[in-house]
Amino acid sequence: MDLVDWDLAASTARRIVRVGPQTTSTEAVEIVRELQRLAAEAHAHVVAYTGLEPDPVLRTSVEVVDRATWAAYNVEGMRRTLGPLAARLGERRAERRSANPPASSFGAGASRAVSDAATRAGRAVTGAELGTVLAFLASRVLGQYETFLPPEAGDGRLLLVAPNIVEVQRRLGADPRDFRMWVCVHEQTHQVQFTAAPWLGAHLEKLVARFADAVDLDPRAVVSRLRAAARDRRVEERDPGDDDGLGSTPLAMLQSPEQRAVVAEIQALMTLLEGHADQVMDAVGPEVIPTVGLIRRRFEKRRRERGSPVERAWRKILGLDAKLAQYRVGGAFCRAVTEAGGPDAMRRAFAGPEFLPTSTELAAPQTWLARTAAARA
């Protein structure tokens, strides 16, 4: 039995997702067409600047979607991504039942019935919560490159969320064409990353599988770690201003050492990818986006404004503060590498898993440059 009621998650997100900004039917059609055209142009600009050559065998697509469609795609993506974790949890549950059978057959049946009922209730609660989270995110995400797709959908899919792009552009008072191209350059950089380095998708999938394999279902172990964190005065005495946003969360305290190690690798990878897209966006911008400087300044101001207390709480719970830290840390790393060796040096990061920067190297670009230069020599 799945851990999540995926159908409930999809229906919940569809029911409560916010309506997008008002546009006429003619405007909506024109916006979709322009985003599709700019996405193709942006792809060519990214390839020319980075020197990363996409594998022509890979099948990718670009879709301009609304908020509800983005949420629906993400429900399906999470169902596929979390498959290994769900299977692992099922195996552990079966192992516990075999190791601790009830004293009588009546007891076994009653125990199983209670357990199954609790599981169904948990699936429903989790499905509703997931749908609520996706509805919140659906009104904020500008674009996303999907890598975990069913075979019939291809090897990758770039989603551009038109209502959000329009809404943010209007709030910033930015030129519509320039802002749309700016977003397309960022998102197409992700597509180029994964298609020029096909091993990236498989590597990310392995990391997810490793995390699932390290899941600790023993409640006593979780409680023990929680108590240890509560006793650790250093957690309470941390200066919030020192938080880099990349892992100092309450959830991190409950993870096993094995899980934390995998999470650190995943975060380092995502920090690289987001930082690289940010750096490419600014490097390509001056030639193809006349108002790129104005857009960047206003967009950075928007990033720093956290909204209402409720929204700030949501951002913390969902890890969106960590996302901002990824842009900051990753962008600084990629700019330093590019300044030192140009796009050629940056391409090393996509040569293979062994060339990926570690969390420590992201804060020390020269260390990474020295290590990778020696490895390629």
**Among 149, 123, 148, residue whose Cα is nearest residue 7:** 123
**Which percentage of the chain shows pLDDT scores above 70?**
70
Higher pLDDT, 317 or 79: 79
Q: Could you tell me the CA-to-CA distances from 191 to 8, 44, 157, 200 in Å, in that order?
A: 30, 12, 8, 11
Q: 82-112, pLDDT tens digit by residue?
A: 766 666 666 666 665 666 665 555 555 554 5
Q: Please, what is the average pLDDT of the chain? A: 80
- Run of H or E residues at 157: strand 156-161
Q: Are strands 143-146 and 156-161 parallel, antiparallel or unpaired?
A: antiparallel
Q: pLDDT value at position 266?
A: 87
Per-residue model confidence as pLDDT tens digits over 166-184: 999 999 999 999 999 999 9
Q: What is the pLDDT of residue 13?
A: 94
**pLDDT-derived band at 62, boundaries 50, 70, 90:** very high
Q: Residue 243: its pLDDT value, please?
A: 37
Give the model's pLDDT for residue 220. Answer: 53
pTM here is 0.79
List the single range of 162-171, 211-220, 341-350 with lowest mean pLDDT. 211-220
The whole-number pLDDT of residue 216 equals 57
Distance CA 353, CA 338 (A): 20
Cα-to-chain-centroid distance, residue 329: 16
| Mean pLDDT (whole number) for 248-276 | 74
Confidence of residue 127 (pLDDT cuts 50, 70, 90): confident
Residue 238 has pLDDT above 50, yes or no: no
Q: Is the pLDDT of residue 251 over 50?
A: no
**What per-residue confidence (pLDDT) applies to 46?**
97
Q: Closest by alpha carbon to 145, among 4, 336, 235, 273?
A: 273
Give the pLDDT band of residue 149 (cuts 50, 70, 90): confident
Mean pLDDT of 20-40: 95
Band (208; pLDDT cuts 50, 70, 90) = confident
Report CA-CA distances (Å) from 310 to 153, 307, 315, 316: 37, 8, 9, 10
What per-residue confidence (pLDDT) applies to 304?
Answer: 67
Per-residue model confidence (pLDDT) at position 82? 72
Task: Select from 116, 89, 87, 112 the least CA-distant residue to 100.
Answer: 112
First-to-last alpha carbon distance for the chain, in angstroms, is 51
Q: How far apart are CA 193 and CA 280, in angstroms?
A: 11
1 pLDDT above the threshold of 80: no
Identify whether the C-beta of residue 193 lies closer than 8 Å to the C-beta of residue 356. Answer: no
